[in-house]
Amino acid sequence: MTDLRLAIVTDIHHGTPKRTKRGDLALGLLDQFLAFCTDYGPDMILELGDRINDKDRETDRRLLAEVAAKFHGLNTPHAHLDGNHDSDYLLPEDNVDALGDGGHGSRDVNGYHLVFWNASTKIPRPEPFRASEADMAWLEADLAATSLPTVIFSHVPFSGASMTGNYWFQNNPEHAIYPNAAEIRTIVEASGVVILCVAGHVHWNTLHTVGGIPHITIQSLTESFTTGGEAAEAWATLEFGEGEIHWQTLGRDPIKLTLQQRSLEAHWEAPLPPFGVQAGD
């Protein structure tokens, strides 16, 4: 029995192709994803950011409008997060105006608390982006206000997983994660309610478990570095039921995961200190 089913797409990158991002195929693939959703019947559709390949403000407003139009009139509830490419030339209010959704948010659906953590993705070059104190305060307060099993969705992952082998981030790891990710994880783990974290941004499929909480990243809709130059055509389904979490990334770079849903307030043992400073064995 499935209690909750979600459909997820991220890193659409509509626009002129850039390196391995097949932005020229984005709108057609987005149509395919939404057609899939019609058949699949999710309780909610989630889009995790980087809707466009940014160029300049005028172009980006047009590209954003073209992506947003695909979501207008859907009967299924949907939520959207802003990615860094949605924030280079565009303002948060541009994204809100186009999509009717923005800022941090959360919603209780079928016995689960879903958190849409729209932490800052504006890159203050040459520095990387950073989740603000206000972002983290909002997250801590939201988690404190629920006793339901909780899933956090963000554009940028904060698991600290290795980027070795990643086309974009192996040599640019500081742009793959918030530099204050350890502080974010402390908030998440201390809450006792989070059972899963899901993100986009890094353009590949990963599972990394920290403190007993699984962190999943989903492949980009239009990325091609793992798929021989062809767009990955990736989107995901996420289902909860009978104490299990079922994740599937579809497309040319597929994965399928079944995870035991962790008990609330469950924690792993704290990691050992460095071997050189601990007593005994």
Q: Provide the residue-wise pLDDT of the chain in tens; the chain has 281 residues.
A: 899 999 999 999 999 999 999 999 999 999 999 999 999 999 999 999 999 999 999 999 999 999 999 999 999 999 999 999 999 999 999 999 999 988 999 999 999 999 999 999 999 988 889 999 999 999 999 999 999 999 999 999 999 999 999 999 999 999 999 999 999 999 999 999 999 999 999 999 999 999 999 999 999 999 999 999 999 999 999 999 999 999 999 999 999 999 999 999 998 998 999 988 766 55
Which of 241, 226, 152 is CA-nearest to residue 189? 152
- The Cβ of residue 191 has, within 10 Å, a number of other Cβ atoms equal to 19
pLDDT of residue 1: 87
* Cα gap 17→168, rounded to integer Å: 15
Residue 102: strand pairing partners: none
pLDDT of residue 281: 57
Q: CATH 3.40.50.300: does it fit domain 4-262?
A: no
Distances (CA, A) of 87 to 51, 90, 125, 268: 10, 5, 12, 37
pLDDT of residue 100: 92
pLDDT of residue 102: 86
pLDDT of residue 276: 81
Which of 104, 127, 115, 126 is CA-nearest to residue 180? 127
Domain boundaries, the chain: 4-262
Distances (CA, A) of 76 to 70, 172, 240, 245: 13, 37, 18, 21
Buried b (16+ CB within 10 A) or exposed e, 75-86: eeebbbbbbbbb
